[in-house]
Chains A and B, each alone.
Chain A
Amino acid sequence: MSLKNSLLTATALAAVTAGGAFAETTVTIATVNNGDMIRMQGLTDEFTAANPDIKLEWVTLEENVLRQRVTQDIAAKGGQFDVMTIGTYEVPIWGSQGWLVSLNDMPEEWDADDLLPAIRGGLTVDGELYAAPFYGESSMVMYRTDLMEKAGLEMPAAPTWDFIKQAAAAMTDKDNEIYGICLRGKAGWGENMAFLTAMSNSFGARWFDENWQPELNGEEWTATVNYYMDLMNNYGPPGASTNGFNENLSLFQQGKCGMWIDATVAASFVTNPNDSTVADKVGFALAPDNGLGKRGNWLWAWSLAIPAGSDATDAAKKFVAWATSKDYTALVASKEGWANVPPGTRTSLYENPEYQSAAPFAEMTLGSINAADPTNPSVKPVPYTGVQFVAIPEFAGIATQVGQEISAALAGQQSVAEALEKAQALAADEMEAAGY
């Protein structure tokens, strides 16, 4: 009966909508399933009330499915989406292919100069801004204040890798299932390799030299991976070679990790008393460094871009301008509080005293984002942009294979030297085949 009723209601609604329809443009938005995006979806009515001639359709997909789906559509010019949620990896590649609409002509009140320079730089190709940042994130150290105190140590605001190792050793209590440090081990360019590439920057390593020759079996990469293995094998949780963000989040929330170095977005999860058993015992610090002038944190911005094949470019631009504006931030703040606004894109947000008091990790996030430079990520010069990735189309494939070798080493199936030799060989092959 209720099914029948629902069907009747649906039909009636459809009839009403069809009856009242006028010339409206439909904007189809492809997006990922995370808190800030879902909130944006919930505010659809606010946008359509101000723009009654535009109808919004949402396609929400899991991150990896979405990436595959939108890549396929944009490469084939399928025209399924008018707005795509993409990251700092895709924007430079797609922008230089001519696949995206330039956003240099956004309205003045949108205020492009207010965007954080590091984020804006990552989304710009040859002076053209190809995507509007919706929220930005970096990575940082999250640690248990109670365990740190028990170990008789104090976390500096900007720790070194040596301090991290010392603290991990002091906090580890395997009998009680407490592990000093939890890090990503699951293979993938956006999984363990995102962490390791960011970490390698602080060890002075780089993926490729100025002539695009891989350096994976070089001194710096060897030092990075050996340090990582040492931390994980001695102070990490068992079975870490299959741990990604969610697995580590679960371990941390259950009080099994002393420290966890991962995305800044995790801060709101681990401090949420509904989900986390350690919500009131979490401290934050910048990602570690090695005294070489670069920190081991990454930079990512989920951004809204308009594919060149869209038949609703003007309406799509209106939507993008709305969703990434200062007014949108204020709208979210008025409905859900300042702690829930999308962070990490605009200077003005970090100058807002209300935001500063509502989000205790605001300063840390800003510091982390500013510490990452996508155009100059490591100590030595590089021919590419990207902090935890290399913005070339071949990277995702190469880094996923390299990640599998390192994950296998973490699982004890081969030595670090073997893994890196294989990684070097496969990277060299792929790059040669790609014509570098």
Chain B
Amino acid sequence: MARAVTQQRKIINTVLAWGVGLLIFFPILWTILTSFKTEAQAISDPPVFLFFDWTLENYAVVQERSDYMRYLWNSVIIAGGSTVLGIIVAVPAAWSMAFVPSTRTKDILLWMLSTKMLPAVGVLYPIYLIFIKLGLLDSRTGLVIVLMLMNLPIIVWMLYTYFREIPGEILEAARMDGATLKEEILYVLTPMAVPGIASTLLLNFILAWNEAFWTLNLTAAKAAPLTAFIASYSSPEGLFYAKLSAASTMAIAPILILGWFSQKQLVSGLTFGAVK
């Protein structure tokens, strides 16, 4: 009897999980399907799901009009650069907060998070002016710095919670054995926190990849990443949904594939530790 209930619950859970998963994935699936339709089929009412004349025409048009590789390369550099830089800054910060907390550590953590509550547009103009002065407008370096700063609170918070799971005694033991601070962080702490660091890296890479406010406002022709590539296919006067979908599919494909392959690390990182 008990077995039957478990079995039943298992089936319900599985169906539920699949249902929620499909619900979340549906908009992406619809975008991908629309990218293979003609413009007329893309807006047809009632909508067509699978039975339409599949066409690659939209991809051909997008390919011909835009230099996809240039946008892709910019996205890779900006997202990758800001994530790596963020980790380099955040690991020591999270180490000190987790292992040598002061009376103000909690406040500092909250204050860091509170900076995320300010709407980005509130600081657009000051940052724009600073960028003009420093000659960073439309440069990948500028975006790497801005996106790193934007995501830094999240990186520090994530690393802080992972580090807290690691017993301080292990680090102490290393210190007893004569490890310097650098060795302690590099050879003792980091290997133990690898799942946590990996999932922080991945999540921040995804956040930086999808970031559309700063990447649109601080770039023009040279440093524009895939967000600008998508924006160039949106039009308030003219129905170009199929082409827009093709451009969107091309922009999300790399990150979707990356997510697919790193699923295991992401999940194990997010559920890292005994209490979570």
Contact = CB atoms under 8 A, between A and B. Distances in A.
A and B physically associate: yes
Given A33-B232, A61-B228, A63-B236, A78 B40 contact: no
A12 to B, nearest CB: 12
A284 B84 CA distance: 59
Contacts of B220: 28, 30, 57, 59, 80-81
Interface in A62-110: 62-65, 69, 72, 76-81
A65 B238 contact: no
A33 B221 CA distance: 15
A274 B221 contact: no
Given A69-B216, A246-B239, A78 B233 contact: no
Interface in B48-92: 65, 69-70, 73
A253 B238 CA distance: 12
A193 to B, nearest CB: 14
A157 interface: no
Given A245-B237, A249-B239, A275-B40, A59 B221 contact: yes
B44 A80 contact: no
Given A249-B239, A263-B237, A59 B224 contact: yes
A62 B235 contact: yes
A249 B237 CA distance: 9
A233 interface: no
A36 B163 CA distance: 56
Interface string A319-356: 00000000000000000000000000000000000000
Given A41-B65, A65-B216, A275-B239, A77 B132 contact: yes
B107 interface: no
Chain B CB count within 10 A is highest, among A33, A35, A41, A269, for: A33
Interface in B83-133: 124-125, 128-129, 131-132
Contact of B237 (A7, A60, A265): A265
B39 interface: yes
A265 B69 CA distance: 32
Contacts of A79: 132
A72 B124 contact: yes
Contacts of A413: none
Chain B CB count within 10 A is highest, among A32, A60, A276, for: A60
Contact of B69 (A7, A62, A76, A269): A7
A414 interface: no
B235 A34 contact: yes
Contacts of A180: none
Interface in B224-263: 224, 228, 231-240
B217 interface: yes
A79 B124 CA distance: 16
A368 B68 CA distance: 40
A211 interface: no
Contacts of A61: 216, 228, 231-232
B132 A33 contact: no
A6 interface: yes
A275 B235 contact: no
Interface residues of A, number: 44
B131 to A, nearest CB: 8
Chain B CB count within 10 A is highest, among A28, A59, A244, for: A59
A107 to B, nearest CB: 27
B137 interface: yes
A250 B231 CA distance: 21
Given A30-B220, A274-B38, A64 B236 contact: yes
A158 interface: no
B233 to A, nearest CB: 6
Contacts of A72: 124-125, 128, 217
A76 B128 contact: yes
A255 to B, nearest CB: 10
Contacts of B131: 78
B236 A246 contact: yes
Given A254-B45, A274-B39, A62 B237 contact: no
B231 A65 contact: yes
A407 B129 CA distance: 37
A58 interface: yes
A244 B43 contact: no
A220 to B, nearest CB: 29
Nearest to A263: B237
Contacts of A10: 69-70, 73
A358 interface: no
A246 B237 contact: yes
Contacts of B224: 59
B239 A250 contact: yes
A60 B70 CA distance: 15
A244 B239 CA distance: 12
Nearest to B129: A76
Contacts of A6: 69
Chain A CB count within 10 A is highest, among B43, B44, B73, B232, for: B232
Contacts of A41: 65
Interface of A: 6-7, 10, 28, 30, 32-35, 38, 41-42, 57-65, 69, 72, 76-81, 244-246, 249-250, 253-254, 263, 265-266, 269, 274-277
6 contacts: A57-B220, A72-B124, A77-B132, A249-B238, A250-B45, A265-B238
Given A61-B228, A62-B234, 8 more contacts: A59-B224, A62-B232, A62-B236, A72-B217, A249-B238, A250-B45, A253-B40, A265-B238
Give the 3 A-B residue pairs with the shortest CB-CB distance, closest first: A57-B221, A60-B232, A62-B234
